[in-house]
Amino acid sequence: MRITFIGGGNMASAIISGLCQQPGQQISVVELHEDKRASLQAEFGVTALATLPDRFAADEVVLLAVKPQALQAVCQQLAPRLHGALVVSIAAGVRLDALSRWLGSSRIVRVMPNTPAMVGKGVSGLYAAADIGEADRRTAEGIMQAVGITSWLETEGGIDDITSVSGSGPAYVFYFIESMIEGACQVGFSEQEARALVLGTFEGAVELAKQSPLPVATLRTNVMSKGGTTERAIARFEAEGVKAAIIAGALDCRARSVELGDLLSKDGE
């Protein structure tokens, strides 16, 4: 497979790292910054370019990994060079109709990845129009499976849905970890001890949830005993509206994703 990344930032680097574990990949990266080009070439052995190639072939993949605000200008430069190449976009917010309009092509797959892709534990939602063939779907899916698990979405609105769960979800988890570390420090643990205890607790709890056939609500109640310590903590969470706030936050996240999609998918002046 021949893949050209447009943009060599953190997410592109994560995907490149995963793909480099697979044999037979021919990877190029177009990156404006000289230091970043040198770093990508040294770390992964990829071809690092300062400018776009003159032409792409129909059997190539172009992966858009630039900031959404810069995407229209990049697409306009790409349009006369594509010649039918498959385009995979990981740019948040920019919808298929805008991408198709700017690129002059409808052979596009949208992807919403998340940052754990950097350690091979990503979750990516994919969406493509109904006329995108099975081979193109497998290609896009294979690229993202190099850094984690994938889920196909039935509608493009599903991109907004998955943004509120797995796309932005790592930040929710980090927020909870951050809070638990602060609590551990308040009872006397050092920062280093608190971090190790909390991360170990999260890792163990996640693994138990993955292996157990029980609902997570049951796993939670199994830790609690009547009148015990855990019950006291959960009672405070409920009184403070923690669960309701998390749900409301996720819904706010989805609403903002829709707003940004409306904004970023408009043609610039």
The pTM score is 0.93
Is residue 103 a contact partner of residue 81, using CB atoms and an 8 Å limit? no
| Three-state secondary structure call for residue 109 | strand
Return the pLDDT at 74.
96
For the segment 247-268, the average pLDDT, to the nearest whole number, is 95
CA atoms within 13 A on the CB side of 51: 5
Is residue 36 a contact partner of residue 18, using CB atoms and an 8 Å limit? no
Return the pLDDT at 269.
55
Is residue 143 a contact partner of residue 88, using CB atoms and an 8 Å limit? yes
Q: Answer positive or negative: Cα dihedral of 246, 244, 148, 158.
A: negative
pLDDT (tens digit per residue) in 153-186: 999 999 999 999 999 999 999 999 999 999 999 9
pLDDT (tens digit per residue) in 85-131: 999 999 999 999 999 999 999 999 999 999 999 999 999 999 999 99
Neighbouring CB atoms inside 10 A of 172's CB total 15
Above 60 in pLDDT, residue 38? yes
The closest of 211, 208, 203 to 180, measured between CA atoms, is 203
